[in-house]
Amino acid sequence: MVFSTAVAFARRARRVGFNTLTTKLAKKGFYKGKGAVSPGVRTAKGRFVVVDYKRPDYIVPPGLASTALKPYVERGTTTK
């Protein structure tokens, strides 16, 4: 009897990837989101208050406005 249960466990199909809940595995209407953090909180009256420590802080290097760099560069451009 011990041998048959060991064979049954050894031949079991691995269920890899079914431990995380996705929108395709959940019921209708499940929305997972993108993992973004909200920049504020909702009050009891329904207003949205922005919290300062949750706001994104963009650090711009000094002298960036005076350079000739563009945000997007074409493939066919050459340097002079």
Residue-level pLDDT at 2: 57
User: Strand 48-50 to strand 40-42: parallel, antiparallel, or no bridges (unpaired)?
Assistant: antiparallel
Task: Round to whole Å and give the CA distance between 66 and 60.
Answer: 12
pLDDT bin (cut points 50, 70, 90) of residue 10 is: low
With cut-offs at 50, 70 and 90, classify the pLDDT of residue 40. very high
Question: Residue 48: what are its φ and ψ, rounded to 5°?
Answer: -105, 125
pLDDT at 24: 83
Higher pLDDT, 79 or 25: 25
- Overall residue count recorded for the chain in this entry: 80
